[in-house]
Amino acid sequence: MKKITLATVKSWIKKNHGNIYIQIKSDFCGYNDCVIANKEPTWELASHNQDVNGNTLGINGAWVVKQSRDSLNAYDDNQYQGFYIYNCTGSFYIGIKK
């Protein structure tokens, strides 16, 4: 399997626009100044924004820091397939229904 890069994820998002789901596992809390786990993460249809080349990759709730500081992994379970992304601001899954 070839290495997953941010370009791979961007291309996948563009190809599956409108069919992408997101599950936010953890995110940064400015009040506590740390990353906090989401107690009940659920898959939700992702809402898109115009920031396609920015830090959100065009998906509300997603956040990448770029410059090789994101951990990008393939994800596949019984219902969804896509990517698991982890960095200093939190972690989330993006996927499409099988």
Q: Report pTM.
A: 0.89
| Domain spans, the chain | 6-97
- Is pLDDT of 53 > 90? no
Average pLDDT over residues 75-88: 95
Q: How far apart are CA 58 and CA 62, in angstroms?
A: 8
Residues facing 20 on adjacent strands: none
* pLDDT computed for residue 1 by the predictor: 64
Average pLDDT over residues 3-24: 93
The residues, ordered by sequence, that sit 6+ positions from 89 with a Cβ below 8 Å of its Cβ are 27, 28, 35, 63, 65
Q: How far apart are CA 33 and CA 47, in angstroms?
A: 26
Are the C-beta atoms of 57 and 65 separated by less than 8 Å?
no
- Is pLDDT of 52 > 80? no
- Is pLDDT of 30 > 80? yes
- What average pLDDT does the chain have? 91
